Each structure stands twice: as structure tokens, then as C-alpha cells.
């Protein structure tokens, strides 16, 4: 079993190439980035599709 602590980062989309106003500013969103050899050791490889289940207090990633 692997236990990893991962920091949730802020992701902001690039603004569109239109005139910006107060109302069309990009809204920051939470972002998780998972990288590392431990993913391969857990059976996840580049290009694999995974299923993410969202529960009230956890995310479950399945192959």
C-alpha cells in the first residue's frame, strides 16, 4: 500500500484573447498533479485510463 501526501495547487486558465473586464476574469480552481515512479509501481502507466470516485472525504483512483 502506498500513502502519499500531495499538495493541492491552484490552477488558473489563461485568459481569452478578448477584452477583459471584472466579470470575465479567470477563476482559480484546485488542481492535483500526480507524478512519479510510484505510479508505475502501483500499476498505472502513461496513457492508462483511470476512474476517480469522489466521496465526501476522499478520492478513490482505480485502474
Kindly state the average pLDDT of the residues 23-35: 81
Kindly state the average pLDDT of the residues 29-57: 91
**CA pair distance 18, 8, nearest whole angstrom:** 30
- 55: CB partners within 8 A, 6+ apart: none
Sheet strands (E) in 1-63: 9-11, 29-31, 51-54, 59-62
Segment among 1-5, 8-12, 21-25 with least mean pLDDT:
21-25
Contact 44, 50 (CB under 8 A): yes
Amino acid at each position: 500500500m502506498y500513502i502519499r501526501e500531495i499538495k493541492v495547487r491552484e490552477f488558473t486558465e489563461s485568459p481569452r484573447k478578448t477584452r477583459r473586464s471584472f466579470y470575465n476574469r479567470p477563476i482559480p480552481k484546485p488542481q492535483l498533479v500526480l507524478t512519479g515512479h510510484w505510479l508505475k509501481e502501483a500499476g498505472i502507466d502513461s496513457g492508462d485510463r483511470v476512474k476517480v470516485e469522489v466521496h465526501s472525504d476522499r478520492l478513490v483512483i482505480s485502474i
